Amino acid sequence: MTDDEIVIRIRGLSNRFGEQVVHEGLDLDVRRGEILGVVGGSGTGKSVMMRSVIGLQTPAEGEVEVLGENMVGRNEDEAKNIRRRWGILFQNGALFSTLTVAENIEVPIHEYFPFLSPSLVDEIASYKLAMGGLSPDAGPKFPSELSGGMVKRAGLARALALDPELLFLDEPTAGLDPIAAAAFDELILSLQQRLELTVFLITHDLDTLYAICDRVAVLADRKVIAVGTIPELLALDHPWIQEYFNGPRGRAAANSSEEPARV
Chain residues binding other proteins by CB under 8 A are 97-98, 100, 102-103, 106, 109, 112-113, 115-117, 120, 122-131, 135-144, 162-163, 194-195
Instruction: In whole angstroms, give the CA distance from residue 235 to residue 232.
Output: 5
Instruction: In whole angstroms, give the CA distance from residue 119 to residue 125.
Output: 10
For other proteins, the closer of residues 113 and 236 by Cβ is 113
For other proteins, the closer of residues 140 and 178 by Cβ is 140
CB 234, min distance to other proteins, A: 36
CB 99, min distance to other proteins, A: 9
Q: What angle do CA 235, 11, 56 make, to 5 degrees?
A: 110
**Is the distance from CB of 176 to CB of 147 less than 8 angstroms?**
no
For other proteins, the closer of residues 34 and 122 by Cβ is 122
For other proteins, the closer of residues 194 and 262 by Cβ is 194
For other proteins, the closer of residues 183 and 220 by Cβ is 183
Q: Beta 20-31 vs 198-202: how paired, if at all? A: unpaired
For other proteins, the closer of residues 37 and 133 by Cβ is 133
Instruction: In whole angstroms, give the CA distance from residue 226 to residue 242.
Output: 12
Residue 68, number of CB atoms within 10 A of its CB: 11
CB 74, min distance to other proteins, A: 20
Q: Which residues contact 14 (CB under 8 A, 6 or more apart)?
A: 21, 23, 24, 25, 26, 59, 60, 61, 62
Q: Which residues of 194-216 are buried (b: 16+ CB within 10 A; e: fewer)?
A: eeebbbbbbbebbbbbbbbbebb
CB 92, min distance to other proteins, A: 11
CB 157, min distance to other proteins, A: 10
CB 246, min distance to other proteins, A: 36
